[in-house]
Amino acid sequence: MSHGGARPRQSDLGIGLYLILGLVASLGPISIDTYLPALPEIASSLGASDGMTQMSVTAFLLGLVLGPVVFGPISDAVGRRGLVLGSLVFYSLVSLSIATVDSIEMLIGLRLAQAACGGTAIALARSMFRDLLSGDALARAMSILTMIILGAPIIAPFLGALLLLAWGWRSIFVVLGIIGGLVFIAAWRRLPETLLPEHRRPLDLAIVLRGYVSITRSRVAVLYAITGGAAAGVLFAYLAAAPFIYIDYYGLEEQWFGVLFGVGIVGAWISQMINIRYVMMIGYRRIVLIGAICMAALSVLLWWVTWTDLWALAGVVLVSTVVLSMVHLVTPGSQAGVLDEFPPDLAGTASAFSTVARFTLGAAGSAMVGLFNDGTPKAFGLVVLAFSIIALAAAAAAYPSKTTHPV
């Protein structure tokens, strides 16, 4: 594939397209996971409280919503490729700017802007698959994309910890800027346009608003958006809480944080392998429901472990790992459940809607951990339980349902 090349056919979806879109979509987890080990040092360096520093995670999640809301519908009118490239350029510039901040307020504001750029690229990557696929095939593609993205949480915490120990926390954002630039070069050279001109919608505010209204009127789309969003609430509660639970509460050395954080990726990969292997046989709707049931049940156990300090650090790590694996079992199908309700000319808008739900509820999970932080893991366990119950209720209400498969 060369830049500006012809739109690939469904039968031509190869590893090249998955890899390039995986790189683009990986910016979100890379941007979060590299600086998680540095949160305690950032708090000390900028003279901020732990709770205020955790709010930088919340600001990032909110920023991931802003870009897709604006540029998702625009991509339905002008195409995907150019907007992806533009968002990557601004992501790199903002990342470099974060390395110069001298207050927690500046850090929070620039993280918001950084996420708006990265969020646009992430949402458009998913839209590009909807341009080409539908139904269970779309859910399978989402799982393959997720498996690629999951490489970031393995590498990023180690990279963040290494940079933190060698050059301090500011070097993390310099490296993020460089990574954004490299992804831009790869996308510019290899990413094709997937939405042909004849399939685009007029760029008109009234049409954009009607598109969002039509999505909110789809009961199934809304329920799957809530399911995926609540699962994200579980995930980002963990992302916000883990550094302080592992490092501050249990006294884990910073260089070992990446090891324990990476353990969760094993379960996530297994979940994606299950999705890829079985989604075409039993359907993504059933997989989402099974995953939500298991996540809720395991969250009860996690709540008990955090409340009683059962098995101490080992208990939190073990049960959190299994809960997070269920999050990753639920997520691809819930994303497909939103996108699959609409034709490709609404894919950008539908992806933005799904992103809003995912990161708004994700930000709520992160914020609740920060707001109710009492210095113990208890708030984390309670927040995870609450969001798991929400995900199960939404998944159960969405299943079974009759879905059209537009082409």
Q: What is the DSSP string of 345-407?
A: GGHHHHHHHHHHHHHHHHHHHHHHHHHT--SSTHHHHHHHHHHHHHHHHHHHHHSS-------
Distance CA 232, CA 27 (A): 16
pLDDT band at residue 2 using 50, 70 and 90 as cut-offs:
very low
Q: In the chain, what is the straight-line distance between the N-terminal and C-terminal CA atoms, in Å?
A: 23
Give the confidence band of 13 by pLDDT, cuts at 50, 70, 90.
Answer: low
Is 85 within 8 Å of 184 (Cβ atoms)?
A: yes
In whole angstroms, give the CA distance from residue 83 to residue 72.
9
pLDDT number for residue 97: 94
CA distance 229 to 181: 29
Q: Region 134-143: what's the mean pLDDT?
A: 86
Whether pLDDT at 402 is above 80:
no
Quick one: pLDDT at residue 63? 82
Indicate whether 79 pLDDT > 80. yes
Looking at per-residue confidence, does 341 or 258 come out higher?
A: 341
Choose between 70 and 58: higher pLDDT.
70
Kindly indicate the confidence band of residue 401, based on its pLDDT and cuts at 50, 70 and 90: low
Could you tell me the residue ranges of all domains in the chain? 10-398
- Arithmetic mean of pLDDT over the chain: 86
262 CB burial (10 A radius; 0-12, 13-18, 19+)? middle
Q: In this structure, which topology does domain 10-398 adopt according to CATH?
A: Growth Hormone; Chain: A; (1.20.1250)
Q: What is the pTM of this model?
A: 0.79
Task: Provide the pLDDT confidence category of residue 406 given band limits of 50, 70 and 90.
Answer: very low
Scanning the structure block, which residue is given the tokens 């940079």?
A: 163
Q: How confident is the model at residue 70 (pLDDT cuts 50, 70, 90)?
A: confident
The reported pLDDT for the residue numbered 255 is: 66
pLDDT per residue over 144-168, tens digit each?
888 888 777 678 877 888 898 889 8
Structure tokens at 48: 């901020």
Q: Is 79 helix (H, G, I), strand (E, B) or coil?
A: coil
SS3 at position 330: helix
3-state secondary structure string across 13-78 = CCHHHHHHHHHHHCHHHHHHHCCHHHHHHHHHHCCCCHHHHHHHHHHHHHHHHHHHHHHHHHHHHH
Is 17's pLDDT higher than 90? no
The pLDDT value given to residue 5: 45
Q: Is the pLDDT of residue 375 over 50?
A: yes
Percent of the chain whose predicted confidence (pLDDT) is above 90: 36
Instruction: Find the mean pLDDT for residues 207-213.
Output: 87
Q: What is the arithmetic mean of pLDDT over 188-195?
A: 87
Q: What is the pLDDT of residues 275-325, one digit of tens each?
A: 888 888 889 999 999 999 999 999 999 999 999 988 888 899 999 999 999
In three-state secondary structure terms, 194 is: coil
With a cut of 60, say whether residue 6 has pLDDT above it. no
Confidence of residue 231 (pLDDT cuts 50, 70, 90): very high
Residue 405 has pLDDT above 60, yes or no: no
If one counts every other C-beta atom within 10 angstroms of the C-beta of residue 156, the result is 26
Among 198-202, 224-228, 349-353, the least confident range: 198-202
- Structure-block tokens of residue 323: 């809960």
Which has the higher per-residue pLDDT, 52 or 257?
Answer: 52
Instruction: Give the lowest-confidence range in 59-63, 245-249, 255-259.
Output: 255-259
User: Which residue has 């070069």 as its token pair?
Assistant: 185
Instruction: Categorize the per-residue pLDDT at 11 as very low, low, confident or very high, splitting at 50, 70 and 90.
Output: very low
The runs of H, that is alpha helices, within 200-346 are: 205-216, 219-243, 254-282, 284-308, 312-339
pLDDT of 256 strictly over 60: yes
Q: Per-residue pLDDT for 10 more than 80?
A: no
- More reliable by pLDDT, 253 or 116: 116
Q: 1-5, 93-97, 224-228, 353-357: which has the minimum mean pLDDT?
A: 1-5
